[in-house]
């Protein structure tokens, strides 16, 4: 008996499964399908990207739908257009033997009139993005007041993208008695809030550990100088000649810039981000699925719909702002039981982030060095030799052989091999012999040890904390929050410096253990606080308040003493996953001393520059930064009382 038969699926689904070539259900399918078929229940399923979640909810949904009833019976919400279209296509494949069952995709970038017309003809299943679905509800183009099932796919990512209000509004328009199935890779507080509000005693299914990474993906990091980030990316591509990868950047601007540079340097690459039209995005994805593109450079949002087989590598050109996002990125590879590699390119200042990711994914990273030019040339030489060996001969060449033999007459076997190989190999050897070796320029694993520098009880210790003005703190409110949370005296917390997405503060060394143990992992309105010890003690040991007056510092004689000057300190880039809204400057990603194109080795199959998605006008303009508020400034929190500050304090979860 087929293993899918044992799950209780009907004949029409089993026929479709056979056509698709599915043999064994994945773990999430084995756990979810029987529950959804046998019980009329809500469900929360936590499983990594690429584990077969679409089939896990798609099979039982199709079996429960009444195909003779043309009204809308199920709504599936997904975060992006690409994922919406992908789910729609898969549901159609699963239901091809179910006569009369129709599925319609509803997403932005396409005609809303055409989509409304398709629904009106009869669509038992609607797959939609939250924004377009809410628009259609507001216009009265769709009726979901009588649906039986609502599925939230990639729920964590939808909420991460700011769709919380849309999702709440959409779910509020559905009947209370419907069944809600929530599928997610991670379980942040916002997802739990949705589940608590709209679900009743859901069955919980977890594949692996909550928020953990896939066992089929290995994790590597390479530490380089910031100016060498792009050069490191090229070397990693050259060291993996058969690479078929997704390269993740944080912003649309960086995504476009990296893709253009790769194309210019002869790599088959393209960009995928939100500034592309739907037609451009479809064209890029078609080329990537057809392997015309070897390196797809993408933002996190645009990549949510990427479901492409046999991706060998995920490259984190820049780490994401949220640790959980790393899980989504690495889930692009190692799918369907195949092995994959997730690569992170970082600088010394980011090393501590690796430890944070390891704790979440419950897997260890392997530290590696960027291959040297000689190593890359050796890899490329062996790759070329194997490529020649494995090439199938087309006998149409036979008629040209006499002329070719005449040209090559007089060359020995060894000379012929050398010349053939040199045609390709010389490009790499000529390029890399002019390049300095960037391997070994990063930091050792020990440098990111969580052990702090030697701290004596009386020494001031400066901390980085990942909360700031966007969390409704100014320096005084943050100081009061820290003082109360840590149960310290007024003068025990000093030199508080608040930026938009992060802050710094000092305590004496005797309080370090308390600070690290209490604040790390503290829940601030559903967001985990992360605290790290800065290598800098903040300069002078005088404890200045916002007026520049002494805030309790003592001289050797125990007396208080006044001080002049400001007490503001610039932000450090160490540790912490900062928000995109952070005022901290991003590290330089690209080198200004670009080599001329004649120096660079060109790769086969590269796109012409003209075929690359073009930058939108003004996309490289400098972003405006929000004004910073710090302890050293002269502004005062007018109208804000200490009691008001205390009222904002979160309670420890």
The CATH number for 500's domain is 3.30.70.330
Instruction: Say yes or no: 397 and 515 in one domain.
Output: no
* Helix, strand, coil abundance in the chain, percent, nearest 5: 40, 15, 45
| Rounded-to-integer distance, Cα 2 and Cα 24, Å | 8
Q: Is the pLDDT reported for residue 490 higher than 80?
A: no
Q: Is the pLDDT reported for residue 495 higher than 80?
A: yes
577 in a structural domain = no
3-state secondary structure of 311: coil
Q: Which run of H or of E encompasses 545? A: none
Its sign, for the CA torsion 485, 553, 496, 570, is negative
Instruction: Say yes or no: 415 and 502 in one domain.
Output: no
| Rounded-to-integer distance, Cα 44 and Cα 30, Å | 15
Instruction: Say yes or no: 513 and 553 in one domain.
Output: yes
Segment 186-190 mean pLDDT:
76
110 in a structural domain = yes
> What confidence score (pLDDT) does residue 2 get?
63
Query: What residues make up the domain containing 396?
Result: 383-432
For β-strands 43-46 and 527-528, DSSP reports them as unpaired
Q: CB 261: neighbour CB atoms within 10 A?
A: 18
Instruction: Say yes or no: 458 and 526 in one domain.
Output: yes
Look at residues 206, 230, 258 and tell me which one is the last residue of a structural domain.
206
Look at residues 182, 206, 230 and tell me which one is the last residue of a structural domain.
206
Segment 112-119 mean pLDDT:
94
The string of pLDDT tens digits covering residues 543-572 is: 554 434 444 433 333 333 333 333 333 333
Instruction: Say yes or no: 298 and 237 in one domain.
Output: yes
633 in a structural domain = yes
Segment 291-301 mean pLDDT:
91
Instruction: Say yes or no: 62 and 138 in one domain.
Output: yes
What's the number of domains the chain is made of?
4
Instruction: Say yes or no: 159 and 76 in one domain.
Output: yes
Instruction: Say yes or no: 318 and 388 in one domain.
Output: no
Residue 561: φ, ψ to 5°:
-140, 145
> What confidence score (pLDDT) does residue 213 get?
54
Q: CB 591: neighbour CB atoms within 10 A?
A: 15
Do the beta carbons of residue 539 and residue 494 sit within 8 Å?
no
224 in a structural domain = yes
Instruction: Say yes or no: 192 and 289 in one domain.
Output: no
Q: Is the pLDDT reported for residue 67 higher than 60?
A: yes
What is the distance of C-alpha 511 from the center of its chain? 35
Question: For residue 113, how many C-alpha atoms fall within 13 Å in the half-sphere facing its CB?
Answer: 0
Higher pLDDT pick, 91 / 586: 91
Q: Which residue in 270, 337, 347, 343 sits closest to 303, CA to CA?
A: 270
579 in a structural domain = no
3-state secondary structure of 403: helix
| Rounded-to-integer distance, Cα 225 and Cα 589, Å | 10
| CATH number where 123 lies | 3.40.50.300
> What confidence score (pLDDT) does residue 134 get?
93
> What confidence score (pLDDT) does residue 439 get?
61
DSSP-assigned letters across all residues of 546-584: TTSSB-S-B-TTS-B----S----PPP--SS---TT--S
443 in a structural domain = no
Do the beta carbons of residue 627 and residue 469 sit within 8 Å?
no
152 in a structural domain = yes
Measuring CA to CA, how many Å separate 522 from each of 63, 518, 584? 44, 7, 23
Across-strand partners of 9? none
pTM over 0.75: no
- Mean pLDDT lowest for which of 63-77, 397-411, 578-592? 578-592
Q: Longest C-alpha distance within the chain, in Å?
A: 100
Instruction: Say yes or no: 336 and 300 in one domain.
Output: yes
175 in a structural domain = yes
**255 burial via Cβ count (<10 Å: 0-12, 13-18, 19+):** buried
> What are the DSSP E strand ranges found in 310-431?
313-316, 340-346, 366-368
User: Which strands sit side by side in the sheet containing 269-272, from one edge to the other?
Assistant: 269-272, 295-298, 245-248, 313-316, 340-346, 217-223, 366-368
Q: Is the pLDDT reported for residue 626 higher than 50?
A: no
Segment 489-512 mean pLDDT:
85
Please give the angle made by the CA atoms of 135, 139 and 142, to the nearest 5 degrees. 85
| Rounded-to-integer distance, Cα 543 and Cα 552, Å | 6
| Rounded-to-integer distance, Cα 173 and Cα 144, Å | 7
- Eight-class DSSP state of 540: -
Q: Is the pLDDT reported for residue 434 higher than 50?
A: yes
Confidence of residue 271 (pLDDT cuts 50, 70, 90): very high
Do the beta carbons of residue 269 and residue 296 sit within 8 Å?
yes
Instruction: Say yes or no: 428 and 459 in one domain.
Output: no
**H helices within 239-335, ranges in order?**
252-264, 278-289, 323-330
3-state secondary structure 458-508: CCEEEEEECCCHHHCCCHHHHHHHHHHHHCCCHHHCEEEEECCCCEEEEEE
- Mean pLDDT lowest for which of 109-113, 116-120, 157-161, 250-254? 157-161
Higher pLDDT pick, 142 / 390: 142
Instruction: Say yes or no: 458 and 544 in one domain.
Output: yes
């Amino acid at each position: 008996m087929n293993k899918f038969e044992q799950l209780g699926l009907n004949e029409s689904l089993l026929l479709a499964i056979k056509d698709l070539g599915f043999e064994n259900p994945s773990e999430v399918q084995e756990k979810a399908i029987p529950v959804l078929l046998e019980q009329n229940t809500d469900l929360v399923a936590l499983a990594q990207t690429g584990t077969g979640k679409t089939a896990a909810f798609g099979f039982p949904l199709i079996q429960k739908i009444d195909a003779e009833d043309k009204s809308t019976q199920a709504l599936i919400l997904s975060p992006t257009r690409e994922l919406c279209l992908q789910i729609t296509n898969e549901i159609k494949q699963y239901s091809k033997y179910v006569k009369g069952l129709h599925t319609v995709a509803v997403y932005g970038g396409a005609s809303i009139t055409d989509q409304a017309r398709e629904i009106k003809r009869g669509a038992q299943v609607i797959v939609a993005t939250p924004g377009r679905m809410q628009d259609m509800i507001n216009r009265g183009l769709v009726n979901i007041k009588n649906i039986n099932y609502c599925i939230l796919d990639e729920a964590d990512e939808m909420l991460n993208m700011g769709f919380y209000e849309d999702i709440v509004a959409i779910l509020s328009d559905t009947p209370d008695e419907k069944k809600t199935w929530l599928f997610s890779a991670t379980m942040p507080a916002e997802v739990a809030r949705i589940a608590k509000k709209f679900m009743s005693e859901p069955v919980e299914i977890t594949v692996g550990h909550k928020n953990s990474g896939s066992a089929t993906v290995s994790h590597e990091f390479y530490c380089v100088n910031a100016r060498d980030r792009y050069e490191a990316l090229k070397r990693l591509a050259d060291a993996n000649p058969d690479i078929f990868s997704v390269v993740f950047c944080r912003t649309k601007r960086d995504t476009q810039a990296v893709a253009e540079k790769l194309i210019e340097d002869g790599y088959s690459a393209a960009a995928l981000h939100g500034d592309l039209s739907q037609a451009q995005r479809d064209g890029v994805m078609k080329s990537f699925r057809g392997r015309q593109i070897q390196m797809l450079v993408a933002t996190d949002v645009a990549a949510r719909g990427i479901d492409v087989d046999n991706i060998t590598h995920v490259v984190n050109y820049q780490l994401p702002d949220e640790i959980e996002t790393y899980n989504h990125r690495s889930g692009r590879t190692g799918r369907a039981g195949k092995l994959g590699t997730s690569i992170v390119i970082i600088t010394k200042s980011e090393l501590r982030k690796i430890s944070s990711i390891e704790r979440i994914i419950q897997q260890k990273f392997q530290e590696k060095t960027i291959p040297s030019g000689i190593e890359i040339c050796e890899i490329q030489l062996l790759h070329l030799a194997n490529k020649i060996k494995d090439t199938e001969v087309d006998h149409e060449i036979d008629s040209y052989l006499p002329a070719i033999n005449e040209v090559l007459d007089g060359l020995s076997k060894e000379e012929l091999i050398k010349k053939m190989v040199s045609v390709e190999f010389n490009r790499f050897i000529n390029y890399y012999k002019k390049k300095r070796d960037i391997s070994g320029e990063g930091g050792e694993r020990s440098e990111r040890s969580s052990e702090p520098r030697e701290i004596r009880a009386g020494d001031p210790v400066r901390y980085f904390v990942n909360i700031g003005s966007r969390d409704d703190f100014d320096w005084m409110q943050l100081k009061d929050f820290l003082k109360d949370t840590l149960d310290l005296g007024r003068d025990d917390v000093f030199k508080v410096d608040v930026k938009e997405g992060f802050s710094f503060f000092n305590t004496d060394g005797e309080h370090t253990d308390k600070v690290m143990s209490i604040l790390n992992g503290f829940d601030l309105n559903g967001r985990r606080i992360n605290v790290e010890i800065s290598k800098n003690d903040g300069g002078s040991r005088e404890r200045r308040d916002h007026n520049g007056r002494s805030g309790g510092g003592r001289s050797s004689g125990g007396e208080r003493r006044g001080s002049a000057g400001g007490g503001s300190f610039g932000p450090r880039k160490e540790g912490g996953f900062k928000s995109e809204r952070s005022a901290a400057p991003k590290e330089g990603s690209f080198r200004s001393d670009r080599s001329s194109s004649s120096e660079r080795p060109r790769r086969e199959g590269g796109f012409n520059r003209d075929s690359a998605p073009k930058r939108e006008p003004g996309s490289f303009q400098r972003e405006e930064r929000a004004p910073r508020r710090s302890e050293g400034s002269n502004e005062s929190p007018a109208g804000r009382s200490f009691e008001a500050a205390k009222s904002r304090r979160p309670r420890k979860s």
